[in-house]
């Protein structure tokens, strides 16, 4: 079977060469976008008098038939037709006859594939954005139930200061809100039409690129035909945002893995999101969290791969750019799957409040409160820091925590200590008093929840 572009050639490639060069194995995912773009293109051709209204109607009807078959899984793609564009064109000609060949007037596969990917990413960003909001909703729901649940806060993975568990969860809400914002901002670059830019130089036909862009819901067109067919910044931006999102998910995965361990026991994951061991019957492994943590590397890889592909390419289109799609498709699948799994994990996890309470009563995470107490009574903070450090050392030597140290030893350390020091050291008081804007104080957390729910 001769290629649709084969008029200039006297030889045909061997089958294995065709297979190496073909992209139909993965770009068939763009079938709906390809047909959508083609329908807009032929409508524009008719409006501009480049094809007749009758021919345009024939082509549109043929494309609608192919779209229905595609959705029903009835199209059998051929490697010999290389990519989704030539496969659809061949199907169309088989469906309606030679008039189907007029569809390609005034365009190239170069602007066609770029159009497909713009349409594809626009749709996927919308779906990912909805999944982000679902996860944020799950975080807010858990946070509302645990405003006054206190958990150790950490720096360097060492106990630092007690915080509201809701405050900790809402930190990830705000990370996700930035991710959501980045995706929405990226749509400004995604929602531009390259259709009609041709192979690289435009076309001699009197086309109306603004009309086809309007039909496809694009905000504007690329102003330069070379840029239109060679730009993949919008995919890089999508991958960069996705890599940042996955990094945020991976950080929470790490915490979930720690929190569900026997050493922490702060939470327990629902059985749906854990697995057992083939040899150790007691095990309950946080496999879904571990998988998301691991899959983060796939998205990083897709970003770095495309950056590497593009870095040395002269204008305009080069076959290297066929390698832009698989990483993009994989990132979409990974991000959507990870968000969906995460939402379920957060919604269904059990929070062991009693274990958290015991933890904050069995550490020195309230030590900063002592230093602040002395500083509020006029002692320079650096001096107060040293006094409290020595008190902590005494506790370690005596095998007690700050709440278990006799008041007499506080008085020996500084005359500024009063009997109210034990109330000040209570973890609930420690958290409640941190009422600066954005802090972990319960009033601030409730205010943050109100803001979060407004955003949702």
List the beta strands (DSSP E) in 239-283: 267-268
The residue annotated as part of the active site, out of 52, 181, 261, 277, is 277
Task: Tell me the C-alpha to C-alpha distance, in Å, between residue 240 and each of 111, 180, 328.
Answer: 24, 13, 11
Closest to 365 in 3D by CA, of 158, 154, 150, 159:
159
Residue 308, phi then psi, degrees to nearest 5:
-70, -40
User: 150-155 and 158-164: which strand pairing?
Assistant: antiparallel
Say how many C-beta atoms besides its own lie within 10 A of residue 290's C-beta. Answer: 15
User: 192-193 and 158-164: which strand pairing?
Assistant: unpaired
The residue annotated as part of the active site, out of 2, 156, 278, 408, is 156
Task: State yes or no: is 23 an active-site residue.
Answer: no
User: 267-268 and 158-164: which strand pairing?
Assistant: unpaired
H/E run at residue 164: strand 158-164
> Can you tell me the distance from the alpha carbon of 94 to that of 111, in angstroms, rounded to the nearest whole number?
24
Closest to 374 in 3D by CA, of 390, 362, 359, 363:
390
User: What angle do helix axes 165-190 and 109-145 make, rounded to 10 degrees?
Assistant: 160
> Can you tell me the distance from the alpha carbon of 73 to that of 29, in angstroms, rounded to the nearest whole number?
12
Task: State yes or no: is 210 an active-site residue.
Answer: no
Closest to 45 in 3D by CA, of 86, 92, 90, 105:
105
| 112 close to 209: Cβ distance less than 8 angstroms | no
Cis peptide before 316 (omega within 30 of 0): yes
Closest to 139 in 3D by CA, of 353, 294, 345, 356:
345
> Can you tell me the distance from the alpha carbon of 167 to that of 149, in angstroms, rounded to the nearest whole number?
10
| 311 close to 222: Cβ distance less than 8 angstroms | no
Annotated catalytic sites, by residue? 156, 277
């Amino acid at each position: 079977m001769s290629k649709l572009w084969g008029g200039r050639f006297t030889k045909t490639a061997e089958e294995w060469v065709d297979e190496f060069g073909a992209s139909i194995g993965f770009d068939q995912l763009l079938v709906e976008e390809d047909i959508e773009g083609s329908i807009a293109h032929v409508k524009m051709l008719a409006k501009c008098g480049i094809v007749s209204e009758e021919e345009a109607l024939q082509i549109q009807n043929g494309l609608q038939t192919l779209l229905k078959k595609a959705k029903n899984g009835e199209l059998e793609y051929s490697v010999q037709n290389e990519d989704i564009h030539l496969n659809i064109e061949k199907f169309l000609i088989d469906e309606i006859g030679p008039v189907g060949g007029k569809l390609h007037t005034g365009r190239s596969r170069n602007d066609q594939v770029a159009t497909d990917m713009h349409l594809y990413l626009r749709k996927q960003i919308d779906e990912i954005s909805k999944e982000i909001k679902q996860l944020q909703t799950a975080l807010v729901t858990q946070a509302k139930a645990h405003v006054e649940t206190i958990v150790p806060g950490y720096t360097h993975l060492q106990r630092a200061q007690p915080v509201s568990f809701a405050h900790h969860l809402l930190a990830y809400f705000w990370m996700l809100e930035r991710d959501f914002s980045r995706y929405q901002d990226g749509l400004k670059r995604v929602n531009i039409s390259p259709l009609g830019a041709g192979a690289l130089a435009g076309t001699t036909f009197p086309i109306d690129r603004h009309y086809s862009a309007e039909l496809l819901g694009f905000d504007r067109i690329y102003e330069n035909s070379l840029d239109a067919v060679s730009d993949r910044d919008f995919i890089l931006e999508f991958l960069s945002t996705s890599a940042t999102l996955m990094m945020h998910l991976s950080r929470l995965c790490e915490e979930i893995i720690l929190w569900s361990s026997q050493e922490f026991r702060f939470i327990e994951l629902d059985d749906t999101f854990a697995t057992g061991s083939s040899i150790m019957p007691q095990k309950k492994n946080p496999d879904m969290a571990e998988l998301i943590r691991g899959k983060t590397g796939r998205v990083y890889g897709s970003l770095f791969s495309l950056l590497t592909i593009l870095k040395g390419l002269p204008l305009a289109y080069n076959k290297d750019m066929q390698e832009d799609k698989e990483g993009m498709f994989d990132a979409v699948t990974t991000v959507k799957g990870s968000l969906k799994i995460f939402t379920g994990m957060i919604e269904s996890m059990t929070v062991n409040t009693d274990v958290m309470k015991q933890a904050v009563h069995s550490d020195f995470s309230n030590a900063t409160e002592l230093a602040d107490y002395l500083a509020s009574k006029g002692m320079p903070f650096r001096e107060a820091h040293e006094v409290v450090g020595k008190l902590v050392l005494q506790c370690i030597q005596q095998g007690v925590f700050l709440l278990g140290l006799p008041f007499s030893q506080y008085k020996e350390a500084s005359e500024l200590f009063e009997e109210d020091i034990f109330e000040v050291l209570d973890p609930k008081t420690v958290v409640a008093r941190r009422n600066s804007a954005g802090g972990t104080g319960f009033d601030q957390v409730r205010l943050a929840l109100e803001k979060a729910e407004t955003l949702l």
